Structure 1
Amino acid sequence: MPKDQNGSPVFGLLPLLPILSVNFVGTLGFSIVLPFMVFLVAKWGGNAIIFGALASTYSAFQLIGAPFLGRWSDRIGRRRVLLISQLGTLLSWVIFLAAFFLPADALFEVDSGILGQFTLTLPLVILFAARAADGLTGGNVSVANAYLADITDEEHRAENFGRMAMSTNAGFILGPALAGILGATIYGEVLPVIAALLISVFAALLIAFGLKESRQQLLDYKPGMPNACKIFGQETKEGYKLSGCDETPAGDIMKIPQMPAMLAVNFLVMLGFSFFYVAFPTHSAIGLDWTVTDTGTFFAFLSLLMVLVQGPLLSALSKWVPDKTLVVTGSLILGGGFALLIWNQWAFVYSAGALIALGNGLMWPTFMAMLSKQAGDQLQGAVQGLASSMGAAASIAGLIGGGLLYTWVGSWVFVFSAVTILITAALTTVISRQIAPPSTFSAKSKSDGKS
């Protein structure tokens, strides 16, 4: 049974509420600008490819920052790194807000058969800078997952990762709804960005004052100096730092049994979803002729269904159905949902949304639980950081590639999402049914023959 920093047993929903709240608030701040981002890019001169490049900017800088933040959280604690990450997000919203007050004069124009037509303006450049600032400190997801793993026992791991996904999707329900309400005022898109900034301030305060550290800190020194206890004849025990716990090279992580296959699944899922996330907002505006409200309503519908699946449904199924079966079945359903999006009728689009919610709700939290279980106790931050880094690489490829593919083939880009997800279902079948965590010592310590 995991214990908190005071040595007390952790069980039930109550100890999860602080990290679930942090995750919910962070998602709310992001999702509140999601419905109108593509319209804002178009307003400032961009097209689908620029929108994809903008979305991939976050992932590109997360690729740099996430592994360091994950390993850092193993050393100095999850709470400190979460706070640093949230402060980076706060800075990014300040930069984002500044873009509204700059002239949208053309810096240069592009008219290409491959890239299409777009105009690069100063607000677009500032928008890219904002996403870069957020991405560089964007290890909050991986560190939050590591925090959850610290306080979760084996029996409730899939259930609790489902709750984490529920908090994410609850943010995605409320965010687009608030965007529709705030965006309809005379202040337009500025008010939702101000709201996102204020939400980020609240999230930082919540981490600073409402979140306890989940890990015992390793000593950086040998406390052998004379102290009052020794003077008065009291026995003291010396503390030692475990060899190999500071730095865990990616090569050592890949030596963990079945980790390469699991990280490949992580990469492919992120790739398939990135095709969807960049193409669907553009498709809703161009192919479906939807308004901001229509797009926000669809994402709210999608997120609401995910909450229902990742909550009561997954909680019940995880007690009876093996993790591997849930991941494979969810992947097959998810791939079918993406395939339905090639038809532009509302009935097909909302049916696709229902299948996407069901498939992702079963597959993704369960897979994250499997990944967490395989990482063990000492390598949670390092493994989650590497997974985030590989996910960021997939997002870069998917977001840029998705924009290009939508420009070339339209809604058929969703077939690429479907095929990618179906490959993950096949790959998951090679992962052993029983996932055993590695030793709490690092691979380096094992190779050295030391404990």
Structure 2
Amino acid sequence: MPADDPDDDAERETTPRRVIATLFFIVFLDLLGFGILIPVIPLYAESFGANEFVGGLLIATYSLFQFVGAPILGRLSDERGRRPVLLISLAGSVIAWTLFGVAGELGPLIGAANGLVVLFLARALAGVMGGNIATANAYIADVTPPEERAKGLGILGAAFGLGFVFGPAIAGVVSSPFALSVFRDVLPAVVPVSEFTIPSFVAATLSAANLVVAFVVLPEPRERVESAASSGRSRLRELLDAVRSPAIGTLIVSFFLASFAFSAFESQFIFLTNDQLGYGTAANAVLLTYIGVVIAIVQGGLIGPLTDRFGEYRLAVGGAAIQAVTLALVPFAVTSTVLPALGPVESGAVALALVSTPLAVGNALTNVSLNALVSRTAGDDEQGGAFGLTQSAGSLARTVGPALAGLLYVAVDYWSPFVAAGVVFVPVVFLLVRLGEARSVPVPE
């Protein structure tokens, strides 16, 4: 029997790492393009005459079509291969973000009253293409053994977080008055230049670069592990079955409620700061970047020591309790005049920054701890399925949350969606305390 070739062993060892690193970069660029448009979408829709409810629907459209598109792309990747599906989805993202940027010019050409219809079409296409995350997760399963799978999925999760941190920051830079004046000087006159269009074109450019990188360096895995998409069961059925499970059901419900509440906050935050502080895309990008940096610091550096000292249950309960209070305080902080202004930063913005800091900390504690608890509850060979359940619950929550929050903003008042989001975290605290007691885990009262 021939001896093993050391070069073959080295290749087998490095290939998964290289593929995971490549997927990390691809997912990061994908989420970077998505993050760039977070501070843009609400005010872009408003420029076409949309109110807060319609703006919330526009935000929710992405998550709805991502929820629908993920299992479709997953099944296609099982049948046709991971690489071609990833390449097609990236090409679709280029088209979607380009359509987003030319919505004002394209709308009248297709017979629409304005570009709002194009915005919805672009968001729907981007959502379907954003379902490629399921394909990326399946790719991880192809190239990693079961005992390393959770680690690989966690690396993709880190790409998510970084995309949400740097995306709004890039939007703030490219939508600044100085940057817009430069773009007007260097771009052809046919290219529309505004604080809404330029971030869209930058997102499209990043997706195009992502497509080139994936085409050049991403191979098709030698073997494919059958994904959950091939089972023929709908994601809603899987979620309902998981909710009925005594082991993981409470955690999935808690994750859904937490995602629902925070997405409601995110969807109306820019409307709030625009109405009360007069903040546009660039100023909102600074605020969102600050919140993202705080979340990244907690998730990347503090969560480990805190978990060692307090445990996941205590951190999840504490994070949910913090968010219940701070979310309800957000609209009143914006209109507060108690704190002094700091130079050009008005009193309301100072108060908002103070409230947003513990809010970001609470969000980081809750999300990481809930994911860790879900992972611990699932078996060693069920990690991918467990993370898929949380992803499905999050997508569904981000579909419903923004729409209902926008309705509250319009039908009640500006403060109502934020107070409601805080109230939603109360049952999360209750559920996690009860679950901790049932498992004999000490949690704070």
TM-score, normalised to structure 1, is 0.74
Higher helix share: 2
1:62–1:370 CA distance, 2 compared to 1 (3 A) = same
1:25–1:166 CA distance, 2 compared to 1 (3 A) = same
1:334 to 323, 326, 339: 323
1:21–1:430 CA distance, 2 compared to 1 (3 A) = farther
Unaligned runs of at least 5 residues, structure 1: 108-119, 220-241, 436-451
Partner of 1:136: 128
- Measured against aligned partners, the alpha-carbon deviations of 1:186-212 in whole angstroms (never above 9, x if no partner) come to 422322211110111222334444456
- Measured against aligned partners, the alpha-carbon deviations of 1:165-187 in whole angstroms (never above 9, x if no partner) come to 55334333332232233223142
Partner of 2:203: 196
- Measured against aligned partners, the alpha-carbon deviations of 1:322-374 in whole angstroms (never above 9, x if no partner) come to 22222222222222321220221223211221112211222212322333454
Give the whole-Å Cα distance in 2 for the aligned partners of 1:106 and 1:243.
39
Partner of 1:357: 360
Partner of 1:95: 99
Give the whole-Å Cα distance in 2 for the aligned partners of 1:80 and 1:326.
41
1:305 to 294, 300, 310: 294
SS of 1:287's equivalent in the other structure is helix
1:174 to 166, 170, 174: 166
Letter in 2 for 1:167: A
- Measured against aligned partners, the alpha-carbon deviations of 1:279-318 in whole angstroms (never above 9, x if no partner) come to 1110011022223222111001111111111111123334
Partner of 1:63: 67
Letter in 2 for 1:395: R
The answer on 1:322 being equivalent to 2:311 is yes
- 1:70-85 alignment, distance < 5 Å: 70=74, 81-85=85-89
1:298–1:244 CA distance, 2 compared to 1 (3 A) = closer
TM-superposed CA distance for 1:406, in Å, is 1.2
1:15–1:180 CA distance, 2 compared to 1 (3 A) = same
TM-superposed CA distance for 1:157, in Å, is 5.5
Contact 2:36 2:170 in 1 (8 A): yes
SS of 1:34's equivalent in the other structure is coil
Letter in 2 for 1:393: L
Contact 1:336 1:355 in 2 (8 A): no
The answer on 1:416 being equivalent to 2:433 is no
Letter in 1 for 2:204: L
1:387–1:405 CA distance, 2 compared to 1 (3 A) = same
1:286 to 264, 275, 298: 275
Contact 2:74 2:229 in 1 (8 A): no
1:370–1:76 CA distance, 2 compared to 1 (3 A) = farther
Aligned length: 396
The answer on 1:295 being equivalent to 2:284 is yes
TM-superposed CA distance for 1:88, in Å, is 3.1
Unaligned runs of at least 5 residues, structure 2: 1-8, 185-192, 335-347, 440-445
Letter in 2 for 1:191: I
Give the whole-Å Cα distance in 2 for the aligned partners of 1:155 and 1:325.
27
SS of 2:355's equivalent in the other structure is helix
Give the whole-Å Cα distance in 2 for the aligned partners of 1:243 and 1:286.
44
CA RMSD of aligned residues (A): 3.9
Partner of 1:443: none
Give the whole-Å Cα distance in 1 for the aligned partners of 2:360 and 2:384.
28
Letter in 2 for 1:364: N
1:165–1:389 CA distance, 2 compared to 1 (3 A) = closer
1:274 to 263, 266, 291: 263
1:8 to 13, 16, 19: 13
1:302–1:142 CA distance, 2 compared to 1 (3 A) = farther
SS of 1:342's equivalent in the other structure is helix
Give the whole-Å Cα distance in 1 for the aligned partners of 2:274 and 2:210.
31
1:426–1:21 CA distance, 2 compared to 1 (3 A) = farther
1:387–1:214 CA distance, 2 compared to 1 (3 A) = farther
Identity %: 28
